[in-house]
Amino acid sequence: MAKGYLIAQVTVADREAYARYSEAAGELLKTYGAKVIVRPESAIVKEGNPKARTVIFEFDTFERAKAFWDSPEYDMAKKLRAGAADGDFILIEGVE
């Protein structure tokens, strides 16, 4: 079964509010077994205009990644992010 990934690109507008989201989402990511697989501080933009921060989370399966995103608990966490950051989020399936 292929792994699942959540790619998040975010520019934070309100650090305090985003910290509350990050804490809530971080605990939930642990619950769903996600792990960070890149070092966001090391990003070097070669072309384009991505958001300020890119993070990639790996889940054991694509289904687990979707379950995290669609969970009522994460829906509550997303509300904490509203107005605190501008972000693009992509769920994608890995190759086996």
| Closest to 78 measured CA to CA, from 4, 11, 18, 36 | 18
Model confidence at 89: pLDDT above 90: yes
Query: What's the residue count for the chain?
Result: 96
Q: How is residue 94 annotated by DSSP?
A: P
pLDDT level of residue 71 (50, 70, 90 thresholds): very high
CATH of the domain at 72: 3.30.70.100
Per-residue DSSP letters for 31-73?
Answer: HTT-EE-S-GGG----SS---SEEEEEEESSHHHHHHHHHSHH
Question: Residue 39: what pLDDT?
Answer: 84
For the record, the structure tokens of 20 come out as 């509350």
Dump pLDDT digits (tens) for 19-67.
Answer: 999 999 999 999 999 999 998 888 899 999 999 999 999 999 999 999 9
Number of domains in the chain: 1
35: in domain: yes
Question: What is the residue range of 11's domain?
Answer: 4-50+64-93
79: in domain: yes
58: in domain: no
pTM listed for this prediction: 0.92
Question: Residue 42: what pLDDT?
Answer: 87
57: in domain: no
Question: Residue 67: what pLDDT?
Answer: 98
Question: Residue 4: what pLDDT?
Answer: 98
